[in-house]
Amino acid sequence: MTTCEFVPVQRGGRDVTSLSEFCDRVFMSLIRSDQRRWGEVYVQGLVSVPGRKSIRRISEMVVGYDADQSLQQFVNQSPWAWEPVRQALAEQMTRRLRPQALVIQEVVFPKNGDSSVAVARQYAPPAGRMLNCQRAIAVFLAGADGSCPVNWRLIMPPSWDDDVERRAKVRVPLDERSQPAWRYVLDALDELIDDWGIPSVPVVLDVGNDPGVSALLCGLEERGLHYLVGVSAFTPSRPASLTATGPTCAPTVGQLTAAAVRRGRMSLPWPGQEATPRFVVAAVPGSAVEIREGTTLVRPRLVLAEWPPELTRPRAQWLTNLGPSGMAEMTGLLRARQQVTDDVDQLVEQIGIRHFEGRSYQGWHHHVTLASIAHGYRLIRHRDEHRMVEELICPEV
C-alpha cells in the first residue's frame, strides 16, 4: 500500500500551506518527536483516508505498514495534554481566519452500549429527540473564509457522577462532574479568552428552551461579552431580579416581538440571497441595570426576530446586547452560525469526528482535538488554493 502524501503547490515562491508545516505549529507543545510524528499521521489519515477513519485504515493507507499499536497508544493511552495543542490551533486559526464570531455548537456522538465515556440515553437538542449518545460543546472560530472548532467540553450526564466503576474504567478525572450546559459554555469561553488570549468577538449560539438561558446571558454580560443567542418565544427577556424598579414580571421574547411587529419590519442585507429577510426588533425594557456592585450593564438587550411577511409567526428569535448600532453585524453573525452548522456536517462526513475507536475520557479529548486540526488544515489549504487561483486569474500589477 502506498503512502498518501501532500505536496505543497508553488507559485511565485509561495507554497500552499503543507500539512507538515501546519502540524509542526500546532504540535509544538509535544516534547517527544514520536508523539509529533504520530499526531501528523493521524491528522493526515483524517484528511485523506476515504470512508471510515479507523486506526487500521489510517495505518495501512498513510504509514504503509502495520502501525495500529503505535497509533492506538498515541490516541488513547499517551498522556499528552490537549489544552496547549488546542491553544496553538486557536492561535493559528485566529491569524488565518480573522474571526468575526465565537459560535457555540452542540455536537452529538451516537453510541451503542453504555461503556464509552459520558454515554447515556438522553435528550440531544441538535437531533430533537432522545438518543443513546455523548453530548459535547464545541467553540468554533468563525470568519469570512469558514469556521473551525478550537475548544471542546464533554457533557457529563448525572448518571456518571456516582458510578465509580464506569468512571474508573474510562479514567474520568475526579473533579469532572455533571453540570448545566451553560456552565460548560462559560468555562470553555473563559479558557479561550482569559487563558489563551484569543480576542473576544460576539458569541453566537442557540439554546432554544434550555432553562439555563438566563444564567448564561448574565454570565456573558458579567464577562463583558457581546452575544446573539437564539431562544424560544417563551423565554423571559430578562431575569425578574434584574430590573430598574424591582422584581417585576419580565415580558417574554414572544410578547415583545408581537408588540413590535405592529410597528413594522425592517430589512437587513443578506448577500447572495434573493429574498431579503425581514426582521422585527424590540428593546427589552429595564435591561440596562446594575447586575453587581460597581458594575452596570451598559448595553441594553434587544429582541431580534426573523419574521417574513408571509408567515403568521417568527421563524426564529434571538436576544442580543449588540445594541441598535450593531444591527449591521446581525446578518453576518447569523451567517456565521449557518457556516458552523455546515462545518459540523463536514466534520462528521469528511473528517470522521464520530469514528473514534476508544472509550476513555482522555482518548475522546485527543480524538476531537486531532479532528479539529484536520478540519482546520483543510480549511486553510482550501483558502490558500482559492487565493492562488484568484492570483492566476487576476495577477498583481
Within a domain: 299 = yes
What pLDDT does residue 249 have? 76
What pLDDT does residue 9 have? 38
What pLDDT does residue 395 have? 59
pLDDT of 269 > 80? The answer is no
Within a domain: 257 = yes
Specify the higher pLDDT residue, 397 or 219: 219
pLDDT of 388 > 60? The answer is no
What pLDDT does residue 244 have? 46
Specify the higher pLDDT residue, 296 or 205: 205
- The answer to whether residues 189 and 102 touch, using CB atoms and an 8 Å cutoff, is yes
What pLDDT does residue 4 have? 41
- Summarised one tens digit per residue, pLDDT across range 73-88 is 999 999 999 999 999 9
Across the chain, mean pLDDT equals: 87
What pLDDT does residue 394 have? 60
**What stretches of the chain adopt beta strand conformation (E)?**
10-11, 14-15, 101-110, 120-124, 129-143, 146-155, 203-208, 227-231, 266-267, 278-283, 290-292, 295-296, 302-306, 316-320
pLDDT of 393 > 90? The answer is no
How many domains is the chain built from?
1
Cα(377)–Cα(372) distance, integer angstroms: 9
Within a domain: 353 = no
What pLDDT does residue 240 have? 62
pLDDT of 5 > 70? The answer is no
- The answer to whether residues 314 and 305 touch, using CB atoms and an 8 Å cutoff, is yes
Specify the higher pLDDT residue, 206 or 1: 206
Give the pLDDT band (50/70/90) at residue 239: confident
Within a domain: 124 = no
Minimum mean pLDDT range among 8-17, 66-75, 194-203, 386-395? 8-17
Range of the domain at 274: 220-321
Side-chain-side CA neighbours of 262 within 13 Å: the count stands at 4
pLDDT of 174 > 90? The answer is yes
Within a domain: 244 = yes
Give the pLDDT band (50/70/90) at residue 8: very low
Within a domain: 372 = no
Side-chain-side CA neighbours of 329 within 13 Å: the count stands at 18
- The answer to whether residues 195 and 84 touch, using CB atoms and an 8 Å cutoff, is no
Within a domain: 231 = yes
pTM over 0.75: yes
pLDDT of 125 > 50? The answer is yes
Within a domain: 371 = no
Give the pLDDT band (50/70/90) at residue 108: very high
- Here the cell at position 364 is 475522546
